[in-house]
Structure 1
């Protein structure tokens, strides 16, 4: 393990935005339990598709999309508040 200073743009719970040294743009920190939950939801949706239940899969994937959209909107808002460009073009 090594310790380095990071630039923290937002320390909002579960949606922190920070820039690691050596990186041009900030990133969005996903806590381990949240990352695990996202992966479990995607695996569950795949299983539902494999079982032929596209309706259930669609509901699960809509939840994942909602979660990631919320994170991305927070990220964009934080970068705008700090006068930073986005690392992508919409």
Structure 2
């Protein structure tokens, strides 16, 4: 872990806009629990549309991209001994 200054353009809850040093454009900081919720919604949408149906492949690509970010987030928190801000228990 390292500490650097970032530019905070907006600190709106669940939608902070920050620019990392060395980057030309800012990014949106999505909280881990919000990212987890987006992944769950993408899973539900893929299930609802159904494999092989129109639009499924594009939706599944979006779902996979969200899960990539969430898995990176989870691995990073685990590496630093930080608890997840959400439960990974599957709902019935």
Count the aligned residue pairs. Answer: 54
Where structure 1 has 5 or more consecutive residues not aligned to the other structure, the ranges are 52-60, 62-90
**1:49: Cα distance to partner?**
1.6
Query: What is the match of residue 48 of structure 2?
Result: 48
Mapped to 2, the partners of 1:47 and 1:13 lie a distance apart of 30
* TM-score, length basis structure 1: 0.54
Cα-to-partner distance string for 1:38-63 (whole Å, 9 max, x where unaligned): 11101111111228xxxxxxxxx9xx
- The corresponding residue for 1:67 is none
Runs of 4+ deviating beyond 2 Å: none
Root-mean-square deviation (Å): 2.2
Q: Which residue of 1 aligns with 2:21?
A: 21
Q: Confirm whether residue 39 of structure 1 aligns to residue 39 of structure 2.
A: yes
Deviation at 1:20, TM superposition (A): 0.3
Aligned mates of 2:49, 2:29 — CA distance in 1: 29
Structure number having the greater helix percentage: 1
